[in-house]
Amino acid sequence: MIFVYDPAQREVRNWTHGEMEGLCFVATIISLHTGQTNRAAILNCAYELQYYLAAVTDVEVRHVHMMCPPSISGRTHWTLEELESVTVFNGISTDQSAVVYRTASASYKLGDLDLRRKKKSRVLYCPRHLQQQNFQLSENYSAASNTQLFGPLGRQ
């Protein structure tokens, strides 16, 4: 089952299928209320991953993987790779930028910045972020519904 928060209806909805376009991140989660480990959060970009790790309640994030499409990996099929880091680079004397995704099996650079040039960098994700999680229980948890997110975000 696929659970998605619908902001227009202000409710969690479920579907039996969905589609993804472009790279995304899969975070394996554990419910702090029930201990269940049978769910994963799917996040569409590195900024959403960073926000999720900082804002999510009611879960512990154990691992993060990157779903990498053929257009980025150069392979003929999608890959699921353990994520090691995401770093954003901005040029100092240029307005060019790049994002480098490092996984256990490869590194992928998206963007025009020549990384040999002078630049500033900012790490959006590394395994240390998982170790620094601040586990919080929400006050509005209810075990009454099977159609709810284990890890709701504050904007719900």
SS3 percent helix, strand, coil of the chain, rounded to 5, is 10, 40, 45
Q: How far apart are CA 52 and CA 41, in angstroms?
A: 9
Residue range of the domain that includes 27: 2-84+125-131
Residue 16 placed within a domain: yes
Residue 99 placed within a domain: no
Residue 20 placed within a domain: yes
Residue 41 placed within a domain: yes
Sign for the pseudo-dihedral over CA of 130, 131, 134, 139: positive
Residue 91 placed within a domain: no
Q: Which residues pair with 41 in a beta bridge?
A: 27
Q: How far apart are CA 63 and CA 82, in angstroms?
A: 8
What does the pLDDT read at residue 50? 92
Which pTM value belongs to this model? 0.84
pLDDT tens-place values along the chain, 156 residues long: 777 777 787 777 777 888 889 999 999 999 888 898 988 999 999 999 999 898 888 889 999 999 999 999 999 999 999 999 999 999 998 999 999 999 999 999 999 999 999 999 999 999 988 887 777 776 665 665 565 666 666 544
Q: What domain count does the chain have?
A: 1
Residue 68 placed within a domain: yes
Residue 72 placed within a domain: yes
Tell me, what amino acid is at 82? E
Structure tokens at 6: 């619908």
Number of C-beta neighbours around residue 125 at 10 A: 22
Residue 62 placed within a domain: yes
